[in-house]
Structure 1
Amino acid sequence: MYSCNTQELWYPFRPENSPHASAVHRGSLDWIKKFDLNNRSGSRGAARPIEFGLLAARAYPRAERERLQIAADWLSWLFLMDDECDETGIGNDPELLMRIHERLLAVLRGASPAAADHRLVRSLHDLATRMIECESPAWLSRFAGAVEEYFAASRWEARNRQHGVIPSVSDYQAMRMHSGAVFACFELIQLTDRITLPAEVRQHAGVQRLMLLANSVICWCNDIFSVNKESGHRDVHNLVIVLQHERRLSNDEAVREAVAVHDQAVRAFVEQAAALEGSGPEADAELSRYVDCLRCWMRANLDWSSTALRYRQARAVSAGMLASPAAPT
């Protein structure tokens, strides 16, 4: 078991929550039941807690009820897709994953589902239909592109599992920015909060770096909380595990190093946000709202992970890791 009771994850961001949290949580439970998404073989699947609507409520706290429900159902789909791969062995077969991903992307981009399609395909079609009612085809194309990058990173992980490869720290850090599907979740900010950044602002180097840093913070936090879950599956795709392997660290040393990497990303985000919001033509109201949404996502991920039943078996890792108001030394 990995544990780290003396370190603190640094988060200078205030927690928020949607007034629609309870309703959206119930809505996602109904949506999951409608498409039978929590139906798995084996005891692990039968015991799985469903709390993803509560994460969405923290991550998109100012979203309207209907749009927040789309985000909550997307997060439910995303986590349950990940569990499907983990628990059925699909995540070890890159060729099978490729066929599944091609079908999912086709449906996300407008193809109609067939009667024989898997429940993940039919539920994703439902999401795509609701998304396009709220947003433009251009937005859906960007969202699908981010999902495609997530799928490609999932196949990279599958190839590693197939061949028994433990990736280097640098390779893992690069691919982790896509394997967590965080960029797709950031694309949802336009839908949930009605923030439309002009292309030149969205593609600005400072804005891109800010998104990358926020993504890093979320992924490293997730890895710290979930390391025992991944270790139990004999999955090496976790920052703690690759640091431990490459640098020959003990369990506790590896967790402490991952915490340091995480906190450095938080510091860099704070500095980059201050520079971006404080000067230049890009410093406008819409960009400030967008940056605040990134802060919400990072803090939401911490608060939800701290209490989620999903990571209860990994609580030894997260014990004592509370948000601190002071910067780490």
Structure 2
Amino acid sequence: MRTFAVSALREPPFPARQHDATPRVARESTEWALSHGLIANGHRLHRLRRADAAGLAGRACPEGPVDGLRLLTDLISWLFVMDDACDEDGLGDSPTRLAPTVAALLDVLDGHGERTDAPATAAGPLGEALGDLCRRAHAAGGPVALLRFVGEVREYLLALLWEAANREHGRAPGLAEYVQMRRHTGGVHPSFTLTELAAGALPGATHRTEPSLVALDLLAADLICWCNDVFSYGKEHLGQPDAHNLVAVIAAGRTDGDESSALRAAADRFNEGLTAYLATEAALLATGDDDLRPALIARRNWIRATYDWSLGAARYA
């Protein structure tokens, strides 16, 4: 599948870079995951190391303070652990099984990650680690960054329940529905927020509601998720097929269900999206608004990072 992805996907025309502190942050983030009980020595530790969260974060955030890179890497590690629990360990097989964990994590978000004297929540290590991420986002960016981050993680968690309901009923979503929900199940938006926070330049409310930036944001999220879907499709369909992949959704919507045609259609969708992204970005750059540049750079970096990281990701081997 990697060979197909390389041949079919257009390489994003952005510079490939990586943060110098990536190896150090990889070690520190693994220790963070161990200290919060997200993983233990053994299979889950091996799985998280293979995922290479720091490799992805270091490409998406190739410069800036190490603390910012650490926070982004820890978020990606948390997302990998949560996704693996749902996709590989059975937590996401049904909404009734997943709901108590989501409720406990929402409780953490409602409290903005603040520690209380209450007993440990049903979310356990996932909740403790999420609380730590919230507190650090608040310390780094204040209430604005915290509220944005909390809202985006909330959307991610609720989207996981949508996936679980589909799995329980053997339901394949339609293409438009999948595209909308994939932006949230991919955890892209909170990752953008922490990347911008690491650069010290979160867009203000005026820019956040600018229609062109909103459109660019959605295009970037789509490109990241679709690139991921094409690269990961082979691994995901070695075992029990999962309908939550762009290739699978396209194949399910075709009368012949042809996999090779669906793969090509998914790649075409990525390539067309990249063309649209470049045109939208060029229009924003032409405004000469320097306050927009950090947000544009963050999205460029993420698109390129996802492509480069996927080329060697052991997670999809």
CA distance in 2, matches of 1:2, 1:296: 21
Partner residue in 2 for 1:270: 278
Residue 145 of structure 1: SS of its match in structure 2?
helix
Structure 1 stretch displaced more, 8-17 or 234-243:
8-17
Any conservation in 2 of the 1:15–1:300 contact (CA below 8 Å)? Answer: yes
User: In structure 2, which of residues 255, 267, 274 is the aligned counterpart of residue 259 of structure 1?
Assistant: 267
* Alignment match, 1:71: 72
1:301 is paired with a residue whose SS is: helix
Report the counterpart of residue 302 of structure 2 in structure 1. Answer: 297
Q: Which has the higher contact order (CA 8 A, sep 6+)?
A: 1
Cα drift, residue 4 of structure 1: 2.6
Q: Are 1:19 and 2:17 matched, yes or no?
A: no
Distance in 2, matches of 1:207 and 1:228, equals 33
Distance 1:28 1:223 in 2: 25
Counterpart Cα distance in 2 of 1:184 and 1:62: 19
The one-letter code of the counterpart of 2:73 is A
Q: State whether structure 2 residue 243 is matched by structure 1 residue 236.
A: yes
Could you tell me whether the CA contact under 8 Å between 1:169 and 1:242 is conserved in 2? yes
Partner of 2:182: 176
Deviation for aligned residue 1:246:
0.6
Amino acid at match of 2:75: W
Instruction: State the alpha-carbon separation in 2 of the partners of residues 46 and 200 from structure 1.
Output: 42
Please state whether the residue corresponding to 1:88 is helix, strand or coil.
coil
Conserved in 2, the CA contact under 8 Å of 1:105 and 1:148? yes
Q: Are residues 46 and 63 of structure 1, via their aligned partners in 2, closer, same or farther at CA, if it must alter by over 3 Å?
A: closer
| 1:46 CA drift (Å) | 6.4
Aligned equivalent of 1:166:
172
Distance 1:194 1:277 in 2: 20
For 2:153, the equivalent position in structure 1 comes to: 147
Q: Please tell me whether the aligned partners of residues 90 and 97 of structure 1 are also in contact (alpha carbons under 8 angstroms).
A: yes
1:310 counterpart = 2:311: no
Q: CA deviation at 1:168?
A: 1.0
**Identity %, equivalent residues:** 36
Shift of 1:7: 2.1
Report runs of 4+ in structure 1 exceeding 3 Å deviation: 113-117
Please state if 1:33 is matched with 2:34: yes
Amino acid at match of 2:269: V
Are the structure 2 counterparts of residues 238 and 197 from structure 1 closer, same or farther at C-alpha, using a change threshold of 3 Å? Answer: same
**Distance change >3 Å, CA 269–CA 14, structure 1 → 2:** same
Distance between the aligned counterparts of 2:157 and 2:41, measured in 1? 21
Q: Which runs of 5+ in 1 are unaligned?
A: 313-329
* Pairing 1:4-153 to 2, within 5 Å after superposition: 4=4, 6-39=7-40, 45=44, 47-48=46-47, 49-108=50-109, 109-112=112-115, 114=118, 116-117=120-121, 118-153=124-159
- Following superposition of structure 1 onto structure 2, how do residues 200-215 of structure 1 map, counting pairs within 5 Å? 200-215=206-221
Considering only aligned residues, what root-mean-square deviation do their CA atoms show, in Å? Answer: 2.0
Greater shift in the superposed pair: 99-108 or 239-248: 99-108
Aligned AA (2:182): R
Q: Which amino acid aligns with 2:294?
A: R
SS at match of 1:136: helix
Give the Cα–Cα distance (whole angstroms) in 1 for the partners of residues 162 and 79 of structure 2.
18
Q: Counterpart of 2:307 in structure 1: which amino acid? A: L
Alpha-carbon distance between aligned partners in 2 of 1:176 and 1:40, rounded to the nearest angstrom: 31
Q: Secondary structure at the match of 1:135?
A: helix
Q: Distance in 1 between matches of 2:217 and 2:139?
A: 26
Gaps of 5+ in 2: none
Q: How much does 1:181 deviate? A: 1.1
